[in-house]
Amino acid sequence: MSLWLGKSSLILASQSGARKMLLANAGLKFKAVTADIDERGIQAACGLSDPREIALLLAREKAKAVSADHGGSYVIGADQTLALGSRLFNKPAGRAQALAQLRDLAGNSHELNSAVAVAHDGKIVFEDVSIARMTMRPMTEPELSAYLDAAGDAVTTSVGAYQLEGLGIHLFARIEGDHFTILGLPLLPLLAFLRREQLIAV
């Protein structure tokens, strides 16, 4: 049973398996539509350096891009940035880049900045950014190689080369922040907005 009460369908502007799982587990019926935007091009041209602002900008752009073709629907855009101090990370292009990222992250604390934006008829009607602080345990080269062997191509699908809901949990010594933020969707603020708008039944 879906808890969605909206007259038009709810749309997730993402094909992220983790984000789809979170919305489905929350009892929301939705469609997933890929946002056709140049994320790296937008990031390069925006002139922003704050990882929270970058994540929010990309979440907005995804929501607006899909909303333009789906009038009347509420469209959820989401994005996540990883910052190690002042350095921003992107999804690794392959195993070698994943290994290089993990070498830098091992033994250090980094921040995940997860942004969500909701568009309706092309306008942003809600946005939020949540932060999780992640401390990766020190790891030897053989340990990193063993992790990469076990995780396989999945390491290229997430910023930081890990999925915390899977084998990536083995990399960490301490985590500060909620599970939803870590998976890339600030779910509690999003549900609070939908509830205020009387779009969900609970």
Strand 74-84, strand 10-12: pairing: parallel
CA distance 195 to 191: 6
Q: Return the sign of the alpha-carbon dihedral for residues 52, 176, 180, 72.
A: negative
Burial class (CB in 10 A: 0-12, 13-18, 19+), 138: exposed
Instruction: Quickly list H helices, the chain.
Output: 17-25, 39-46, 51-67, 95-105, 141-151, 179-183, 187-196
| Choice among 79, 104, 149, 178 that is catalytic | 79
Is 50 labeled as catalytic in the residue annotation?
no
**Active site positions, annotated:** 79
